[in-house]
Structure 1
Amino acid sequence: MENFPEAVIIGAGFGGIGAAIALRRIGIDDIVIVEREDDLGGTWHVNRYPGLAVDIPSTTYSYSFEPNPNWSRLFAPGAELKRYAEHVADKYDVRRLMRFGVSAESAQWDEEQQRWRLTLDDGQTLNPRILIAATGYLSQPHTPDIPGITDFAGQIVHTTAWDPDLDLSGRKIAIIGTGATAVQLIPELAKTADELTVFQRTPIYVTPKVDFAIPAPVRSVFNRIPLAQKGARTVTDLVYEVIMVVGVLHFRQLNPVNRIAAGAAHLFRRLSVRDPKVRDALKPDYDFGCKRPTFSNEYYRAFNKPNVSLQAGGIEQITADGIRTLDGQQVDIDTLVLATGFDLWDANFPAIEVIGRGSRNLGKWWRDNRFQAYQGISVPEFPNLFNLAGPYSYSGLSYFTTIECEMIHLQRVLGEAQRRGKQTVEVSEEANADFLARMTSHLDDTVFYAGDCASARSYYFNHAGEATLLRPTSTANAFREAKTFPLSAYNYS
């Protein structure tokens, strides 16, 4: 592995692949992509649990510059996303840049060399001029700190470490968590488990999933006439943009629309769940949009099955052979499934220790001075560092929107540095402060601040109670600013 590459990208998921494509478009080809897993694809390589699928229409959940006319369903299964990642990496010739089974541990800016010093877990050190963190939002699995969990004598399975050959037929299973992953997994487990007990901390809004197989003739049209698929994407983009902008970002002005969406979800739950006590326990008591809503036609109906039960009263302790609830019940199980999501704020902002100019520690600085990043990607005092999953970076409901905005950003800034013959770029304190002030002001109108999110326990909020994950503007605004933000926002040297 070259010790002084021009650029290093941490992560070989869709973000890392997109970043490599962006760099190659402006002539930077001396790139190393380090990936801790044994293959590319990020979350779509790691996650293999039953029922895995996108929760955004596949026409929208993909690179706009590389549409896939061969999706089998509107909401494609996870294996197809993995194959799509492989296709893009091969077509744009970035797979050869990847080094698998290598984890980045820390990065420090070397003022004398004007390069980053990136330490890897195999003892090697890389010294790139440009460092791009493409570790995503959902990369650090969260294991709940429940008393007794290490005493459990049965099998424990986290959804991010699922063995595709695992057979849970006939088992007594408990699953902890009712987020987006659990909504997909619970109906699958209910089909074969002898007993399935769902432990819920916070209910989630679930709406019907308008999913269907895409007929072969339609796929054939998409292959022959790309504009047809582009039209389909325009429709799905618009639907999800309306959900995001109207229902979440302009909650203060358009509160009735949010109430209609919440009412539709409540009606769906009432029509789907027979037992009134279970139905009430599954009802969220926060506003629609505080947590990311999800879509399923099977989740609510799973609770009508005689082998499925819901526990919503809280867990006191895990024992060797089961789970004891706060109200004193003992639930005997032989398998514990953890659908407990990811550790965003403690382990992923940033995903590794990053030390910039003047020994500024990025993680500590964020926590001491608020989470912030200019256009969601750059931070003052961190030259040539771009974080593809920074604060205020997630735009719309599709991660691909974020990726493509930041690809444009990378190309413009680094292209300008090339034009000027400069080696380093660093966003100014003034530009960063102005952007933070503008994003903060926009948040006042969102459901996060104007609505009731107190009981949501949403990963959108950091430990200080700030909703700094999502960019509180429209997707159109994000793209427009990616293409037009003043290049003078950066200092070039």
Structure 2
Amino acid sequence: MTPQYDAVVVGAGFGGMGAAIELKRLGHHNLLILEREDDLGGTWHVNRYPGLAVDIPSSTYSYSFEPNPHWSRLFAPGEELKRYAEHVAHKYDLRRSMRFCVAVTGATWKDDHWEVVAGDETVTARYLVTATGFLSQPKTPDIAGIESFAGKVIHTAAWEPSDLTGKRVAIIGTGATAVQLIPELAKTASDLTVYQRTPIWVSPKPDYPIPLALRKLFARLPFVQRTVRRLGSSILELMMISGVVHYRQLRVANRLAERWCRAHLHRQVRDPELRRKLTPDYSFGCKRPTFSNDYFRTFTQPHVHLETSAIERIDASGVVTADGRTEIDVLVLATGFNLWDTNFPAFEVIGRDGRNLGAWWRQNRFQAYEGVTVPGFPNYLSLNSPYSYSGLSYFTTIECQMTHMRRLFTAMHSRGASVFEITQRANDEFLDRMRTKVAQNSVFSLGQCSTARSYYFNQHGEATLLRPTSTISAHRAAARFPLEHYDFTPRGSTQAVVEGLLDDAQPV
């Protein structure tokens, strides 16, 4: 049969838009982009809590081929990221392919195409791309009595504009989102109690307004902004990545990062007991670190309280711990997202011979060749995949995957084929290589991570979210992976053919 679409892309965030841009460049213009929310932007549409901002320099948090010279600050606020997403969609004519408020509940491979259940209809496509994001399934904590609380409950991923002036507020969680939100809550709440299970490494945030003159220079001379981007990326790579993925070789970088964060805490918090509670007991990098100039200082205010005792239960009017009970009016949940139970994959995906992706991942380890493709799932590109996240900026990951798509589809088209599938052998070799790198080099195996409670680790205790290589290595692999790692099927055939004839040493 002739599918209705060249490709169905699930997710209209930056990952889905990047994939759609690459597919259009490759000649696939008949696209359907499905989004469960009511507009595009992914994280930057859903999240609207006070203090929302990108937590790495803005110059690195954008497509390299579509730089934005108009960031107002070094760390741009959330509304600017949303506007940037809208700009990208307009410039690359993506909105006409988008359908909003459509939840995908399943996808099944049928001979040579995908059938995708989208809302109350089923659509067909030659290719399926899932770009549902890593942080897209909010997690509600399993705390006794939470449903009995009579006040307002707000999850940070479903923020409701509220006047909290004079309110007694409690917030559960001290991850990267909470680091941004807590100082804002403290400005209006009459009393703020922060329930911390795991402290977070926080370094100073060099957040400055970008002068208008410099923004004009970026717009007029794009290479200047590209230079700034490269410099920022290099600093982040050295500070935040090298000491994590190359922990064995660069343990000193990891130690320096810890000392930098400890010094920042010491400058802002003089109370030694409070400092002790705010100091992580796990190695830097086991959990995503972040930046803030206000977070630590907030806890020194008299109406802000840090509670580290475990929550026993929540009742109609407060939170109960072993140390006592706190009366509150508003409960804020900064409890993160459920990655490994509901996000890998975000909906049921059935491949060749009835293979269920979620079940297969859980039975055979989470894995994806180069963080993009999975054996047994032809014509399927999984963008939020195991071993795909490279570097601190999500755009590093996106552009590596776009490069992989370009090489893969160009090779497929040159063979007159319409179906691709990664071989089991190539996938196994990649998985073994990644697991070896994690075991031999990274902080996840060699550092102290047991108390981090990090979303990097799946339910099997494996840190399979991050790619344990440098970003340079990730880009090189995307552009040069051996083409014989894939099987290609010619148009009109349902049997895999032998590997292609192109020289795998020559980039396509």
Cα distance, 1:245 vs structure 2: 3.5
Match of 1:142 among 139, 148, 154: 139
| Alpha-carbon distance in structure 2 between the residues aligned to 1:375 and 1:181 | 29
> What amino acid sits opposite 1:5 in the alignment?
Y
Aligned counterpart, 2:123: 126
1:378-457 matches, cutoff 5 A:
378-444=373-439, 445-457=441-453
Cα distance, 1:267 vs structure 2: 1.6
| Alpha-carbon distance in structure 1 between the residues aligned to 2:3 and 2:270 | 62
* Contact 2:3/2:126, CA 8 A, preserved across alignment: no
Aligned counterpart, 2:153: 156
Aligned counterpart, 2:365: 370
* Contact 1:321/1:333, CA 8 A, preserved across alignment: yes
Give the SS at the match of 1:118: strand
* Contact 1:443/1:472, CA 8 A, preserved across alignment: yes
Aligned counterpart, 1:175: 171
* Contact 1:3/1:125, CA 8 A, preserved across alignment: no
Match of 1:302 among 298, 301, 316: 298
| Alpha-carbon distance in structure 1 between the residues aligned to 2:304 and 2:49 | 19
Give the SS at the match of 1:59: helix
| Alpha-carbon distance in structure 2 between the residues aligned to 1:146 and 1:241 | 38
Cα distance, 1:253 vs structure 2: 1.9
Cα distance, 1:487 vs structure 2: 1.5
Show CA shifts across 1:11-42 (max 9, x none). Answer: 00000100000000010001000000000000
| Alpha-carbon distance in structure 2 between the residues aligned to 1:235 and 1:78 | 23
The normalised TM-score by structure 1 is 0.98
Aligned counterpart, 2:326: 331
* Contact 1:197/1:308, CA 8 A, preserved across alignment: yes
1:291 equivalent to 2:321? Answer no
Aligned counterpart, 1:115: 113
| Alpha-carbon distance in structure 2 between the residues aligned to 1:458 and 1:244 | 16
* Contact 2:7/2:32, CA 8 A, preserved across alignment: yes
| Alpha-carbon distance in structure 1 between the residues aligned to 2:290 and 2:178 | 10
Cα distance, 1:279 vs structure 2: 1.4
Aligned counterpart, 2:212: 216
Aligned counterpart, 2:454: 458
* Contact 2:245/2:442, CA 8 A, preserved across alignment: yes
| Alpha-carbon distance in structure 1 between the residues aligned to 2:457 and 2:71 | 34
Aligned counterpart, 1:23: 23
* Contact 2:241/2:392, CA 8 A, preserved across alignment: no
Give the SS at the match of 2:418: coil
* Contact 1:378/1:427, CA 8 A, preserved across alignment: yes
| Alpha-carbon distance in structure 2 between the residues aligned to 1:83 and 1:440 | 39
Cα distance, 1:3 vs structure 2: 7.0
* Contact 2:400/2:475, CA 8 A, preserved across alignment: yes
- How many residue pairs get matched? 487
> What amino acid sits opposite 2:235 in the alignment?
V
Match of 1:312 among 308, 311, 314: 308
| Alpha-carbon distance in structure 2 between the residues aligned to 1:314 and 1:3 | 53
> What amino acid sits opposite 2:77 in the alignment?
P
1:274 equivalent to 2:270? Answer yes
1:39-58 matches, cutoff 5 A:
39-58=39-58
Between 1:80-89 and 1:405-414, the stretch displaced more is 405-414
1:87 equivalent to 2:87? Answer yes
Between 1:217-226 and 1:249-258, the stretch displaced more is 249-258
Aligned counterpart, 2:351: 356
Give the SS at the match of 2:332: strand
Cα distance, 1:117 vs structure 2: 1.1
Give the SS at the match of 2:59: coil
Between 1:419-428 and 1:71-80, the stretch displaced more is 419-428
Query: Tell me, which stretches of 5 or more residues in structure 2 are unaligned?
Result: 490-508
Aligned counterpart, 2:496: none
Aligned counterpart, 1:195: 191
1:259 equivalent to 2:286? Answer no
1:41-80 matches, cutoff 5 A:
41-80=41-80
| Alpha-carbon distance in structure 1 between the residues aligned to 2:79 and 2:293 | 20
* Contact 1:316/1:326, CA 8 A, preserved across alignment: yes
Cα distance, 1:358 vs structure 2: 1.2
1:472-487 matches, cutoff 5 A:
472-487=468-483
The normalised TM-score by structure 2 is 0.95
Aligned counterpart, 2:467: 471
Cα distance, 1:417 vs structure 2: 1.6
* Contact 1:5/1:31, CA 8 A, preserved across alignment: yes
Cα distance, 1:423 vs structure 2: 1.5
Cα distance, 1:252 vs structure 2: 1.4
Between 1:44-53 and 1:268-277, the stretch displaced more is 268-277
Show CA shifts across 1:92-147 (max 9, x none). Answer: 11111100000100111112xx11111122x1001111000000101111111100
Give the SS at the match of 1:88: helix
| Alpha-carbon distance in structure 1 between the residues aligned to 2:332 and 2:212 | 37
* Contact 2:387/2:467, CA 8 A, preserved across alignment: yes
CA gap of 1:68–1:245, structure 2 versus 1, over 3 A, is same
| Alpha-carbon distance in structure 2 between the residues aligned to 1:400 and 1:279 | 34
Cα distance, 1:478 vs structure 2: 0.6
Cα distance, 1:199 vs structure 2: 0.2
| Alpha-carbon distance in structure 2 between the residues aligned to 1:244 and 1:109 | 40
Give the SS at the match of 1:157: strand
Query: Tell me, which stretches of 5 or more residues in structure 1 are unaligned?
Result: none
Cα distance, 1:266 vs structure 2: 1.2
Aligned counterpart, 1:36: 36
Give the SS at the match of 1:6: strand
| Alpha-carbon distance in structure 1 between the residues aligned to 2:412 and 2:243 | 40
1:239 equivalent to 2:240? Answer no
Show CA shifts across 1:348-373 (max 9, x none). Answer: 00011111111111111111101110
